[in-house]
Amino acid sequence: MFERKLTLPPPSTETFFLWGPRQTGKSTLLHRYYPKAIWLDLLKAEEFRRYMSHPESLRSELPDSGEKPFVVIDEIQKVPQLLDEVHWLHENRNIHFALCGSSARKVRRGHANLLGGRALRYELCGLSAAELGDETDQVRLLNHGYLPRIYMSKKPQRLLHAYVADYLKEEIAAEGLVRNLPVFSDFLNMAALSDSEPVNFSTIARDCGVSSQTIKQYFQILEDTLLGRWLPSYRKRPKRRVSVAPKFYFADVGVVNVLARRGLLQPGSELFGKAFENWCYHELHTYNQYEERFAQLSYWRLAGGTEVDFIINDMEIAIEVKAVSRISGHHLKGLRTITKDHPLIKRRIMVCIENKTRKTDDGIEIMPANVFVKSLWKGDFF
């Protein structure tokens, strides 16, 4: 059992949404936090049918006097009509709910206000270094991914293939999110090849044989079903032409490995380096969510290709990521170039797999991966 770092409210104090990709452990976390809650599991066929046909039955099933119950509704996206009842019960009976789901798409489509701002929003991500502790196996993590069950498995490939198949069958086909499932499946493979790279919608559209607008809609599905997220480019006060295309990062690197058919990743390889960058973004995003820092994350890239992987807030910190055991001058080109356009940047950090922390003559911090995550979770960055 991993000790998750996401902190949820005490029971019956707040109504909130808990979102997260499939198999991140949302239900397990809710059971641990709220062992006495009334539990509605919409994965159960009988409960799904009952509330789909008669969502108003929730009102009659919950007591209207005495001690107020705390109610967990798992897989809320399956019956978004229940949100009307949740809204009424919250307002008129002061009953609080935990609303758990792996896709916000149907909820947003039918209830765009998500209870009119009355509900907090939490996100449970895959395993972080802070949850894995000092025994983190970096190679295992970058091959297996961040999902607890798959990370611990001795046969992760079989589980990852099943995860992707279930995603296509249960999240995409069952919900009718796309008309042409084979094309969407091809898109997933192409999108995985673009993980951690600026996205060219036209190129992916051409390879998939559909329009650029369709590809944008497909990426929106990935975002709504929490399988990935965008990282925008930093464009404030540019002195030179900079990239405007956003990057896309899948929420789990194990899923990327399967979709992109990477095979076993070995330290020193180019694909290991791409997975390493995905992991660094995963840690930054997870910390930002769990600790509620609300920092703005972006990347910086000149039109010629010189790049810094991550920018925190308004050029407070620049972070470059290289999965190499020895950093040399050419690895530092982006961190040195960025100061020409942004001379007031506070810190420049190179995250790598060197053994020791050191600093270059011009102030760039060379930081091993384990030091990076410990400093991040201590709050040293933002």
- Taking only the tens place, the pLDDT of each residue in 23-75 is 999 999 999 999 999 999 999 999 999 999 999 999 999 988 888 999 999 99
Structure tokens at 207: 């390879």
Mean pLDDT, residues 154-170 taken together: 93
List Cα–Cα distances, 260 to 26, 194, 319, in angstroms.
27, 9, 26
List Cα–Cα distances, 307 to 62, 90, 234, 303, 338, in angstroms.
55, 48, 11, 9, 8
Q: What does the alpha-carbon distance between residue 131 and residue 326 come to, in Å, rounded to a whole number?
A: 28
Predicted local distance difference test score (pLDDT) of residue 112: 47
Nearest to 23 by CA among 195, 282, 252: 252
- Report the mean per-residue pLDDT for the chain: 94
Statement: residue 269 has pLDDT above 70: yes
Which numeric CATH code is attached to 16-123?
3.40.50.300
Statement: residue 136 has pLDDT above 70: yes
Predicted local distance difference test score (pLDDT) of residue 109: 64
- Who wins on pLDDT, 135 or 283? 283
Predicted local distance difference test score (pLDDT) of residue 15: 96
**What's the pLDDT band for 177 if we cut at 50, 70, 90?**
confident
Domain range list for the chain: 16-123, 129-378
Of 67-81, 195-209, 233-247, 328-342, least confident by mean pLDDT is 233-247
Predicted local distance difference test score (pLDDT) of residue 118: 75
Statement: residue 174 has pLDDT above 90: no
- What whole-number percentage of the chain has pLDDT above 90? 85
Statement: residue 120 has pLDDT above 80: yes
- Taking only the tens place, the pLDDT of each residue in 186-228 is 999 999 999 999 999 999 999 999 999 999 999 999 999 999 9
Statement: residue 114 has pLDDT above 50: yes
Contact 5, 131 (CB under 8 A): yes
What is the three-state SS of the chain?
Answer: CCCCCCCCCCCCCCCEEEECCCCCCHHHHHHHHCCCCEEEECCCHHHHHHHHHCCCHHHHHCCCCCCCCEEEEECHHHCCCHHHHHHHHHHHCCCEEEEEECCCHHHHHHCCCCHHHCCEEEECCCCCHHHHHHHCCHHHHHHHCCCHHHHHCCCHHHHHHHHHHHHHHHHHHCCCCCCCHHHHHHHHHHHHHCCCCECCHHHHHHHHCCCHHHHHHHHHHHHHCCCEEEECECCCCCCCCECCCCEEEECCHHHHHHHCCCCCCCCCCHHHHHHHHHHHHHHHHHHHHHCCCCCCEEEEEECCCCEEEEEECCCCEEEEECCCCCCCHHHHHHHHHHHHHCCCCCEEEEEECCCCCEECCCCCEEEEHHHHHHHHHHCCCC
Widest pairwise Cα distance in the chain:
70
Predicted local distance difference test score (pLDDT) of residue 104: 79
Statement: residue 111 has pLDDT above 60: no
The whole-angstrom distance between residue 294's C-alpha and the CA centroid of its chain comes to 15
Predicted local distance difference test score (pLDDT) of residue 66: 84
Statement: residue 237 has pLDDT above 80: no
β 120-123/228-231 pair status: unpaired
- Taking only the tens place, the pLDDT of each residue in 97-107 is 999 999 877 77
